[in-house]
Amino acid sequence: MAPKLWSGLLKLIIKSEVYLSWTGIPLPQQKLLASTAGSNARIATWIKAQIDYVCTELPFQDNYFWRVYIKGCYTKECCPEYLKEENFRKLKKSIGKISITTETVTEFLQRNPSHNKISTFILLDHMDWMAEKPQLLTEEWTEILKNVNENPKFLWRSAASNADFVLQTNVNRGHDSPLPLKDILEVDEALSARLHPLDRVHTYTSLYVASLKSSSSMNF
C-alpha cells in the first residue's frame, strides 16, 4: 500500500510549512527537523521513513498511538494504561494526588513549595519550541534545578538529531557564575540509544534520559 499512500501530491503537501504547522509543529521545531532531514524538501522523505518504520519494524498490536490515528478509536486491548479496566481502581484510589495546571513549567515551579521536591521530569519535546529563545530555557532549567530531589531523573526528546541547544543552556546559580547544563547533567547515552528505537510514536529524531552528575556540587 506504500506506493498508493505516498503519492506525489501528498509528498508535495507535507513539504510545506503550512502543513507542518497544521500538524502542531511550530516553526522553531520545523527548522530543527529541516536541519536533521537535510533540507525542507527532504522533510517529506524523513516523515515517510518514520511511518515506514512504525508500520514495518515496531509491533503494531499494542501501538495505541498510531491505532487511534488510523482508526479513530482505541480497543480494550490496545489503549493507554490509564484507560484499562484493571487500572481503574488504582486511579480512583489516587485521584486526590493528581493535579492539573495550564501554566508553563517555569510558572509552576516558581510557585512550588520549597519542601515539595520533584523526582521525575518528563519534558517531552517542548524545549524545541524554545530553541531560538535561550533565555526561556535558562529560566526553566534554573527553576527545575531549584525544585529537584537528591536523585532526579529527566527525559526529553527532540526533532533535532543532536539537541545541543538544550545542554548548552546556561543555568543561573544565585551569586555564582552561570553553568552550562552539560556540566550539570549526565545523559545516559546507552539507555537513550536503547529506548529511542522502541518509541511507538517515532516522530522524534533523538531521545535523552539524564540525571545529575553530582547533587553535592550543585548550588541553586
Question: What's the pLDDT tens digit per position in 81-90?
Answer: 999 999 999 9
* Contact call for residues 173 and 203 (beta carbons, < 8 A): no
Convert the pLDDT of each residue in 51-67 to its tens digit: 889 989 999 899 999 99
The pLDDT value given to residue 186: 96
CA–CA distance, 13 with 130 (Å, rounded to integer): 26
**% of the chain with per-residue pLDDT over 90:** 63
> Residue 166: pLDDT band by 50, 70, 90 thresholds?
very high
The pLDDT value given to residue 205: 92
Strands ordered across the beta sheet of 206-212: 118-124, 148-158, 206-212, 185-187
In this model, does residue 123 exceed pLDDT 60? yes
Q: Considering only 14-23, 36-45, 177-186, which range has the smallest mean pLDDT?
A: 36-45
The pLDDT value given to residue 44: 76
Q: What is the DSSP letter of 214?
A: -
Burial of 157 (0-12, 13-18, 19+ CB in 10 A): buried
1 or 171: which carries more pLDDT confidence? 171
**Residue ranges per domain, the chain?**
99-220
In this model, does residue 173 exceed pLDDT 90? no
191 or 37: which carries more pLDDT confidence? 191
The pLDDT value given to residue 53: 93
Q: What is the mean pLDDT of residues 189-206?
A: 95
Cell of 102: 495550564
Tell which residue, 39, 62, 38, 65, has the closest CA to residue 51.
65
Q: Mean of the per-residue pLDDT values for the chain?
A: 89
> Residue 41: pLDDT band by 50, 70, 90 thresholds?
low
* Contact call for residues 160 and 130 (beta carbons, < 8 A): no
The pLDDT value given to residue 190: 98
Residue with cell 482505541: 74
In this model, does residue 103 exceed pLDDT 90? yes
The pLDDT value given to residue 216: 44
In this model, does residue 153 exceed pLDDT 50? yes
CA–CA distance, 149 with 172 (Å, rounded to integer): 18
Q: What is the pTM of this model?
A: 0.87
